[in-house]
Each structure stands twice: as C-alpha cells, then as structure tokens.
Structure 1
C-alpha cells in the first residue's frame, strides 16, 4: 500500500485494531502510535463515528487517567465497562491501573 494514500483515519483504526485483549490505550497514545502527535481529540471523534457493526476493539481506548470517557451510568459507559471486565481488566474506584493494563 502506498503510504501517501493511507489516511489519518486508517492509521488510527489500525492502531486500535492492534490493541491486545486485556490491554487498554489512551486516546493520546493511539494518536502518537498512529504518527499523529497531538491528535487525541481526532481519535475520540473517529471512535464516535465508528459504525456500530465494526469489529475494531473501540472499548480498549480510555482516557489517560484510566477512566472511561462516557458519562458514568450511561448505556455506553456500562457497555464499555462490561467489555473491559470480560477481558480481565480490573477497575478500582472507577479507574483502570494504567501501569498494569496499558498497552506497551
């Protein structure tokens, strides 16, 4: 694939698709790994626009404090929380220990 035809979106989705089961990455980390420093907000926007039937593990992207970015108690928050729990990710006081679970 010619690198000039790879879009920012493709780069971001490729990084997210590669986050291993049982690991998380922050929005900023995904941006940096995609070669798009200072584009954490773009990562968030793309996740919002992702098709509902996508198989990309969107749920593994959380904020840099180890928190789910959806408002606590919303359907989206609960869904992401349950998906992460199912992968063995532990929450303490609503946060993931990034030292333990952040993808390296």
Structure 2
C-alpha cells in the first residue's frame, strides 16, 4: 500500500459525501477500505490545496464536532459551509444520527 493508493480512495469517498450530510474521519477511512487510518484522513485533508473542490468541510471528528479551534477562521468557514447545506448544530456538535452519511 502506498500513500497515493489510500489518498486516492479517501478523496473518492469524500467527494461522494452528499450536501447536508457529514462523515467522520473514521467513516471515511473505513469506506475507503482502511478502517484503522482515521488520522491519515485528517492529514490528507490538512494537505489539500487551497483551490481543491473536495468537500472537506463535510468531514468531522468522531464526536460530531469540527476539529478546528472554535475561535479560528477555519472553524467559522467550515461551520458556515455546513449550515448553508442545512446541517444543524446543537452548541458546537452536529447530530450524527440525523446528518451522518455512511456511503
């Protein structure tokens, strides 16, 4: 397994997350065939080019929360993108039972 192999699969899964739905890092890894590589999904997204069209904002941590610090510009950007798609927040959490996509 090379890095290119699993990155391509992560990107493919993330590209298919529908508007208004979210997946956790672990969900993406499992759907890509690498169930124990949730952290690699995070690294993959961290290194996306700025001009990427991949819907990175639809990927969350296992608690249903955004991984950026709440006072950061990236947190605000991700939250705004999700809310524009109809994803509901309760405080700083997303109801995974309602919005989670499992492929």
| TM-score grouping bracket, smaller chain normalisation | over 0.9
Establish whether residue 27 from structure 1 lines up as the match of residue 44 from structure 2. no
TM-score scaled by length of structure 2:
0.94
2:13 aligned partner: 15
**What do residues 29-85 of structure 1 show as CA deviations (whole Å, max 9, x unaligned)?**
000000001100000000000010000100000011110000101000000000000
Structure 1, unmatched stretches of 5+, are none
TM-score scaled by length of structure 1:
0.93
| CA distance, structure 1, for counterparts of residue 100 and residue 72 of structure 2 | 24
Structure 2, unmatched stretches of 5+, are none
Establish whether residue 85 from structure 1 lines up as the match of residue 83 from structure 2. yes
| Aligned-CA RMSD value | 1.2
Structure 1 residue ranges, 4+ long, deviating more than 3 angstroms after superposition: none
| CA distance, structure 2, for counterparts of residue 15 and residue 27 of structure 1 | 11
